[in-house]
């Protein structure tokens, strides 16, 4: 098993499915009030360069439930914020902590940190990938659809870190993925090329309706991610027609599910009606961040 959890494509299908099984087990124990202190006495260092709600709370609560302790560190309040090299911080934190979770902008920074850190490193989000979110998404689909592999998935919106991660997942799990983005907002070309080389079933289009037709899973994210706020007005124009609304949901399979990694700009990339509607599994998806990340931490850190 790998030491770090930086990108979904680093992992084998077998190991990821073991994590899903563990996540399901840990969720059942938590719901039943049964102790599951697999990381008793251990510490997770959490480095945040980007603001967070779900990532911070789910990792911190998860470590507590596993019997360990989570330590919150904002990059602006560490020596990294004053110019200390990543490799120096990584060497030191790897000696203090049993695991590290990083939520930042640069994928290269996370990979450099992992290279020099003796403790396992988990990617809590970068501009390139969001692997923990994809794991939670797939766990949620599995709960609602049983066999999550033989489905038609649809991504509508920006070709961002979530789109890249869905493309990685399609290559690993073998499901069909349709990606609808406006021209000029496509997913990363290298990620696409690697997935296609691995035999991923990918369909790319600039027409959201084409992507949504008959789909089992509809998924989207904000049009302007953190760090892109100055592009908001420009993106709103480019993304006209890319909203997941009741009309688009009707084009999908009758029993389709709708997901969003949150936070959502209601009535922008997705309507309030859909978020609160019968097809939405968005808040189950948010909850499962807790359970799947506990499985990831336990898989990497349990002695």
pLDDT tens per residue, range 223-239: 987 667 778 889 999 99
The dihedral built from the CA positions of residue 122, 124, 127 and 133, taken in this order, carries a sign that is positive
Could you confirm whether 256 is annotated as catalytic? Answer: no
Q: Is 130 a catalytic residue?
A: yes
Whether the per-residue pLDDT at 285 is higher than 90: the answer is yes
Residue 2 located in a structural domain: no
Could you say which of 36, 130, 235, 291 is catalytic?
130
Same domain, 115 and 252: no
pLDDT at 75 over 80: no
Over 70: is that where the pLDDT of 81 sits?
A: no
Tell me: is residue 56 an annotated ligand-binding position.
Answer: no
Q: Annotated binding residue at 131?
A: yes
- Tally of domains in the chain: 2
Give me the pLDDT at residue 226, please.
63
Quote the strand ranges of the chain, DSSP E: 43-48, 69-74, 99-103, 121-125, 152-156, 176-180, 201-205, 217-220, 257-260
Give residue 76's domain range: 8-130+286-301
Residues 136 and 259 in one domain: yes
Query: Six-digit token pair at 132?
Result: 């923990």
Does 103 carry a binding-site annotation? yes
> Shortest CA distance to 218 belongs to which of 249, 179, 258?
258
Q: Binning pLDDT at 50, 70 and 90, where does residue 143 land?
A: very high
**Catalytic residue check, 272:** no
Which of 65, 107, 133, 293 is labelled catalytic?
133
> Is-cis flag, bond preceding 82, omega within 30?
no
What's the average model confidence in pLDDT over 22-32?
Answer: 98
Q: Report residue 265's pLDDT band, with 50, 70 and 90 as the boundaries.
A: very high
User: 55 among the known binding-site residues?
Assistant: yes
Q: Is 178 annotated as a binding residue?
A: no
pLDDT band, residue 96 (cuts 50/70/90)? very high
261 part of the active site: yes
Q: Which of 7, 97, 103, 216 is catalytic?
A: 103
Does 225 belong to an annotated binding site?
yes
pLDDT averaged over every residue in the chain: 95
pLDDT band at 59 (very low <50, low <70, confident <90, very high): very high
Catalytic position from the list 98, 127, 137, 221: 221
Distance (Å, whole) CA 122 – CA 274: 32
| 133 among known catalytic residues | yes
Q: Smallest Cα–Cα separation from 242: which of 191, 167, 184?
A: 184
Beta bridge partners of 177: 153, 202
167 and 200 in contact (C-beta within 8 Å)?
A: yes
Q: How far apart are CA 290 and CA 61, in angstroms?
A: 8
153 shares a domain with 278: yes
Residues 187 and 81 in one domain: no
Same domain flag for 194 and 96:
no
Residue 112 sits in the same domain as residue 21 = yes
Q: What is the mean pLDDT of residues 36-49?
A: 97
Residue 147: per-residue pLDDT: 84
Find the range with the poorest average confidence among 71-75, 191-195, 208-212.
Answer: 71-75
Question: Which CATH number characterizes residue 78's domain?
Answer: 3.40.50.1370
pLDDT of 29 > 80? The answer is: yes
Together in a domain, 88 and 224: no
Mean pLDDT of 157-170: 98
């Amino acid at each position: 098993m790998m030491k770090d959890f930086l990108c979904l494509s680093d992992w084998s299908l077998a190991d990821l499915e073991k994590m899903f099984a563990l996540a399901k087990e840990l969720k059942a124990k938590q719901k039943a009030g049964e102790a599951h202190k697999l990381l008793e006495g251990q510490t997770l260092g959490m480095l945040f360069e980007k603001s967070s709600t779900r990532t911070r709370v789910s990792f911190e609560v998860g470590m507590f439930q596993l019997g360990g302790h989570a330590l919150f560190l904002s990059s602006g309040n560490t020596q990294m914020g004053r110019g200390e090299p990543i490799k120096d911080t990584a060497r030191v934190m790897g000696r203090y902590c049993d695991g590290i979770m990083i939520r930042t902008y640069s994928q290269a920074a996370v990979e450099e940190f992992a290279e020099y850190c003796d403790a396992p490193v988990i990617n809590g989000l970068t501009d390139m990938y969001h692997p923990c979110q994809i794991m939670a998404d797939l766990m949620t689909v599995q709960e609602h659809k049983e066999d999550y592999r033989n489905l038609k998935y649809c991504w509508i919106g920006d070709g961002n870190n979530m789109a890249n991660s869905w493309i990685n997942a399609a290559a690993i799990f073998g499901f069909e993925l349709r990606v609808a983005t406006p021209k000029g907002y496509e997913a990363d070309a290298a990620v696409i090329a690697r997935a296609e080389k691995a035999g991923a079933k990918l369909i790319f289009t600039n027409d959201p309706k084409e992507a949504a037709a008959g789909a089992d899973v509809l998924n989207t994210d904000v049009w302007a991610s953190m760090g892109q706020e100055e592009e908001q007005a420009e993106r709103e124009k480019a993304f006209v027609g890319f909203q997941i609304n009741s009309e688009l949901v009707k084009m999908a399979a009758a029993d389709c599910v709708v997901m969003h990694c949150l936070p959502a700009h209601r009535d922008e990339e997705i309507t309030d009606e859909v978020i609160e509607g019968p097809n939405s599994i968005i808040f189950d998806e948010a909850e499962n961040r807790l359970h799947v990340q506990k499985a990831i931490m336990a898989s990497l850190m349990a002695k």
